Copies of this chain bind each other. A is one copy, B any other.
């Protein structure tokens, strides 16, 4: 049994913390929103008045926050957690943030003598609740070995992408590619339909051919083709357009930082921003299909 300090108990962090509690660990929690904290306390967590209180005496710290600035504010600076942790505490940041930011915090942690891994997730709220998340991890193998038993409680697949920040890089690369293939799939389906083809027939052909991809396999964007997909449910739920825009923003920031050329990813971001700006931010990202339909 480990003692875990868990910071950030939102839609993702809340159920993740509960899974750790259910597995028998002691979880000391903190969130700025009282109600979020109360929900985890109701399942056995210990409430704290500050992040610093929550990590006191912890073997591991797990954070799950919205963006780079929150993670930097939590760990860095004169009152940052890095100055507050007990020796040998392992830091696991599960937030999806800029690789540059992850590397910066990891470097500060290392300088202060702490191991840290970046471990952003995919799988959404459903994966968090069900304990079936995918973790993409950056950091040392040694640190990952220590974290692994906990990650396996919260998730199903754990990938070691490389050194500090590499988990974030893997996630932004994957999600940029996801945006590209979802948009390309939507275009191809609409082009077929505009030529009189049945979208289900065309989907099956492409899925078994060289156009095959994750969207055609489990997440078809054309309404009615795949009954369980968000497209067949008015694009409700799923992975929101606004979240895809956030991840594409991280990919673009990393492309700027590294001088990389990503024309398809950049176009996908702009198509998603345009789509989101027309009131579609809170529906599933496969709704990019509707961009290509005639009104």
Taking Cβ atoms with an 8 Å cutoff, the residues of A that contact B are 99, 122, 134, 136, 157, 159-163, 165-166, 169-170, 172-178, 180-181, 183-185, 187-192, 194-198, 201-202, 204-206, 208-214, 217, 219, 245, 249, 251-256, 258-271, 273-274, 277-279, 291-295
Contact = CB atoms under 8 A, between A and B. Distances in A.
Q: A-side binding surface: helix, strand, loop or mixed? A: helix
A266 B264 contact: no
Contact of A214 (B170, B198, B210, B269): B210
Contact of A197 (B162, B187, B264): B162
Given A161-B202, A277-B294, A188 B265 contact: yes
A157, A195, A256, A274 — most chain B CB neighbours (10 Å): A195
Given A188-B265, A205-B161, A264-B183, A211 B173 contact: yes
Contacts of A161: 197, 201-202, 205
A177 B211 contact: yes
A125 to B, nearest CB: 15
A266 to B, nearest CB: 4
Given A191-B255, A209-B174, A211-B181, A260 B273 contact: yes
A255 B260 CA distance: 17
Given A267-B263, A271-B263, A176 B163 contact: no
B195 A166 contact: yes
A169 B187 contact: no
A187 B291 contact: no
B170 A202 contact: yes
A196 B261 contact: no
A188 B205 contact: no
Contacts of A170: 192, 197, 202, 205-206
Contacts of A196: 162-163, 165-166, 169
A198 B162 CA distance: 8
A165 B195 CA distance: 9
Contacts of A176: 184, 187-188, 191
